[in-house]
Every structure is written in structure tokens, then in C-alpha cells.
Amino acid sequence: MNEIRGSSENLMDEQIDIKITALYKSYFALVRQYIVNNSGTSDDAKDIFQEVALLYFKMCQKPTSSQIVNEKYYILGMAKNIWLKKIKEKGRYVNVEFNDHDDSIAAIDEMPELIQTNALIDIVLNKLNEISDECRKIIYGAFYLKQSAVEIASTTGYSESFIKVKKYRCLQGLKRLVSGSADFQNLQT
Amino acid sequence: MDKNIQMEEDIVRFLEGDMNEEECKIFESRLESEPQLQKLLLEYRTIIEGIEFWGDEQVRSSINKIQKDLEEKNFFKNGKSVSSGGRSGGNLISMNGFKYLIAAAILIAVSTTVFIWLTPDKLNGSELFANYNKLDREQLKKDIERFNVSGLISGMQAEDTIKQALIYLESGNFTESLKLLENFNVDKPGIPIVQYYLGLNHLNLGRFDKSGPIFKSLCSQKSFELASDACWYYALQLIHNNADVELAKSILSDLSSRNTYNRAAEAKNLLSKLEH
């Protein structure tokens, strides 16, 4: 079986694409079969799998990902949980079983919470558009993908020591833009 | 270091979980007695959450794109998600299907022959290459400046080497530039910007067998800042070699639609020459 997880902390765009495509090829059929057998459609399965792919990607960035025993059941566990939430929202009843494998249950316990947008986050998003491309890339690598300075240096062409300094400066620059904005000041009062 | 900058770095290290147990304890006790630190921590927490949300959106958009690509390849069709090497009951091709397959193969072969037969007369690849292959001196200046670290970090020998190579390149001394970059590449292989300028030197020295794979690979690296330029040079090389002009056209068409790309107009112009 293909192991999708592993070194996701090293991922950059192209590698992310390769890994996610592999995830689809290995497990989409399984997830679709489950969704279709539980009152869903093929389109529902596509929506659910998008969420699964994002959450799994985030899971792999956490140090606890090494505890995932069986990737297949882990993915299926996440899909079941998301599907259960969706059908509850729609007010439908489906008997969803979680007894296939331990990892199905582990997936539910450990699923990362996605950040919900709010007024403050909207300001950060706006200000992220105002910083330089270079800083955005470094921030994405350092604070989202959690890459080391060496990894970022290898994709940007800068030296490791430069990245170490730059990542703080970029974040500080972003923070100053946010806290200096009128919208932010208004929210504080 | 400035006290505030140090304080901010401590906050980021705390939020990122980069502090050891002892440092955490000290930081947490400082939080109780320093309201300014508390306030800054809250602000940084929001920033990090914003980055998390934004990053999720980036990955979500990659997933969307992948799903669309798979859709175009009929991956989701008929309830069969075909993985590579997968076998299904549909492996046996019917006689009719086989006939259509043969007919399609003949048609493709004939049209390819006609295309190859017609193309060399219409297209002077070397001439177009010579007209359009120009160094982006502005970019080159920026990169020379970038590796001129202005004392920010001292003793950066690697940057000095790249900077010198770019100065050689700017002056048209491709051989010397190539030598420096090749030596650098032995020590630190795979750095995209170094690869890019290696490719540019090879291209200008007519070593297309070397420059081709470099530009092809960099062109597909979306996170590389000069990916569009790598695509541009890859397309130029294809045109020069009359190798795959259709691929070159599709690259140029893509580049010409990128509003922020400084060679978009040139790409459009070259594309129109290829099409007429």
C-alpha cells in the first residue's frame, strides 16, 4: 500500500500535489463506496474527500502522525466522521458504524480543528496580500508548512541563516501591518 | 538585540512550541507579570491563526485543482476510480473498439506526418530564438542585489559565489558564470535559483541538452519565483529545436495570459508569429 504520510513537513507545492493525487488514487474509491452505501452520492463523496485530504494533510504536519497505524482506516475514519456531521446538519438519519478498526476511532479523536474565520482573521488575510511575495513564501513555509530554515532555503535560494532572520522579520512586519490598521484599532475599542 | 524584537521572537517561539520546558515556565511566569507581553501574545496568536486559515485555503485550492484535473482524466467516471495498474472487468476491448482504435492511430499518424512535413517550411526556429532570447537585465540586477547581503549576515561565501556568477552572466561571460555555478551546484545541489541560472548559461552556450531538463523542471515548480521565466526559456528552446512547437505554443499561451508576468506581451507576440 502507498504510504502517503511521512515527510509532509518537507512538502512544497509540487510535492503537495503529488501526495494529494496519490491520496485520491489510493483511497477515493473506498470513501465513495462508504458514502454511497450510506445515503450519499458520488458528488457528496468528492466534497467529503476534499475535507479528508485537507485534514489528513494537516494531521501529517503534527508530530503525532507517526502514531497512525493504518492509513487506510484512518482516512476512512475521518471520512465517516465528516459525513456523519454533514448528515446531522441536513437532519437526516443514517446508522454509521465505527467498529472497523481502531484507527477509525483514533482519527475522530485526533482530527485537527479548522480555524473559523472572524473579523480579526479577515484583517490578517487582507494584510497578507500587502506583504511581499518573498515574505509570503517564507511565512507559508515557516509558519504553515512548519518547514525548517534549511528546507525553506533550498526552495528559495537564500541561505539558512538569512531565512532564520527573515522569518521573524516577515512575521513582525505582518503583525505591525495588522495592529496598525484602522480596522484592527476599531475592533480593540 | 532590541528588547521588543527579542520579546516578539520569544512569543513566536512560545506559540510555535520551539521553547524547552524551562523556557516555557519562565515565559509563562513573565506573562503573569507583564501585561504588555500578554497583549502582544494575543496579537501574535491571531496572526498565527490567520496564517493557519490562509494556509488551509492554499491547500484547499490545490486539492480543488487536483480534483478538477482528475475529473478531466475521467478518474471519477462510472463509479470506477481507476488507480494506476488497476485491473477491472473492462480490460477486454471489443472488436468494434479495436477497429476504432486502429482508425484513430492511423489518423494521428497521418496528421502528425503532415504536421512535421509542413512545419519546418513555416517556422525558422533558430531565427525566432535569436530574436526573443534576451536576458532580463532588471531581474538579473535584482538577483545580484539579493545576493549582496549588505552586511546583514557576515561571512556568506556562498552568496558571494552566486553573486559573482551573475555578474559574469550579466556581462555575457557565460563560460565563467557556468564554471562558478557548477562548482556551487556540486556542494549544494538542487537550489532552484542556482539551477535557473545554470540553465540560462547552458542555453546561451547552445547546450540545449543540458538547459532543457532544467527549465522543464523549474517551469513546473509553482513555488519557484522565476518559474514563469523558466517556462519562457523552455518554450524558446522547444522553438529553436523545432521539437514540440505545440507544447511551446501552449506554454506561451499560458504565459501571455498572466497579467503580472513582465514578458506576457512578448509571449503573446511570439505566439502570434508561430500561429501565422
Query: Exposed e or buried b for every residue in B208-220, given b needs 16+ CB within 10 A?
Result: beebbebbbbbbe
pLDDT of residue A172: 92
Give dist(CA B251, CA A14) in Å, integer.
18
Please determine, for the modelled complex, whether the ipTM score is greater than 0.85.
Answer: no
Which of B136, B135, B133 is CA-nearest to residue B234?
Answer: B133
Q: Which three cell numbers stand for residue B125?
A: 526556429
Closest CB to A144: pick one of B51, B65, B153.
B51
Whether residue A159 lies within 8 A of chain B, CB to CB, comes out as yes
Q: Which three cell numbers stand for residue B83?
A: 488507480
Tell me the pLDDT of chain B (276 aa) as tens digits: 567 778 888 898 898 888 999 999 999 999 999 998 999 999 999 999 999 999 998 888 889 989 998 998 888 875 555 443 333 333 333 445 556 667 777 777 776 666 555 554 455 788 888 888 888 888 888 888 777 654 333 344 666 788 888 888 888 888 888 888 888 887 777 788 888 999 999 998 888 888 888 888 888 777 778 888 999 998 998 888 887 888 888 889 888 888 788 888 889 888 888 887
Chain A environment of B65 (Cβ under 8 Å): 17
pLDDT of residue A147: 86
Residue of A nearest to B77 (CA): A42
Closest CB to B191: pick one of A115, A124, A157.
A157
Residue at B181: amino acid letter: L
Q: How many Å is the maximal CA-CA distance in chain B? A: 83
Instruction: Give counts: helices (H), strands (E), chain B.
Output: 13, 0
Closest CB to A42: pick one of B56, B69, B76.
B76
Chain A environment of B194 (Cβ under 8 Å): 157
Residues of chain A with pLDDT under 70: 1-13, 62-68, 91-117
Residue of A nearest to B143 (CA): A157
Q: Do A162 and B153 touch (CB under 8 A)?
A: yes
Chain B environment of A16 (Cβ under 8 Å): 59, 62
Closest CB to B66: pick one of A24, A32, A157.
A24
CB atoms within 10 A of CB B159: 18
Sorted by sequence, the CB contacts under 8 Å of residue B254 that are 6+ apart come out as B231
As a whole number of Å, the end-to-end CA separation of chain B is: 62
| CA A149 to centroid of chain Cα atoms | 21
> Using the 8-state DSSP alphabet, how is residue B243 labeled?
S
Chain B environment of A121 (Cβ under 8 Å): 46, 49-50, 53
pLDDT of residue A106: 54
At residue B220, what are phi and psi to the nearest 5 degrees? -90, 0
Rounded to the nearest angstrom, the minimum Cα separation between B246 and chain A is: 24
Closest CB to B12: pick one of A117, A155, A168.
A168
Give dist(CA A167, CA A159) in Å, integer.
12
Give dist(CA A166, CA B232) in Å, integer.
30
Decide if B62 contacts A17 (C-beta within 8 A): yes
Whether residue A32 lies within 8 A of chain B, CB to CB, comes out as yes
Decide if B82 contacts B70 (C-beta within 8 A): no
Give dist(CA B58, CA A15) in Å, integer.
14
Strand (E) or helix (H) holding B110: helix B95-122
Q: Do A123 and B224 touch (CB under 8 A)?
A: no
Q: What is the rounded (10 degree) CA torsion for B59, B65, B68, B69?
A: -120
Instruction: Give counts: helices (H), strands (E), chain A.
Output: 9, 0
Inter-CA distances, A105 with A1, A42, A47, A74, B167, Å? 21, 24, 21, 8, 59
Give dist(CA A61, CA B56) in Å, integer.
12
Inter-CA distances, A15 with A21, B62, B65, B271, Å? 10, 11, 14, 31
Chain A environment of B46 (Cβ under 8 Å): 120-121, 124, 178
Give dist(CA A45, CA A19) in Å, integer.
19
Hey, of B56, B63, B72, B160, which one would you mutate to test binding to chain A, going by the most A CBs within 10 A of its CB?
A: B63
| CA B167 to centroid of chain Cα atoms | 23
Inter-CA distances, B266 with B142, B256, B260, Å? 21, 8, 13
pTM of the model: 0.53
Sorted by sequence, the CB contacts under 8 Å of residue A186 that are 6+ apart come out as none
Decide if B159 contacts B147 (C-beta within 8 A): yes
Chain B environment of A13 (Cβ under 8 Å): 62, 221-223
Residue at B219: amino acid letter: C
Residue at B217: amino acid letter: S
pLDDT of residue A16: 78
B242: left (phi over 0), alpha (psi -120 to 50) or beta: left
Give dist(CA B229, CA A155) in Å, integer.
16
Q: Which three cell numbers stand for residue A17?
A: 500535489
Considering Cα of A94, then A71, then A64, then A159, what sign does the dihedral take? Answer: negative
Q: Do B48 and A143 touch (CB under 8 A)?
A: yes
Whether residue A20 lies within 8 A of chain B, CB to CB, comes out as yes
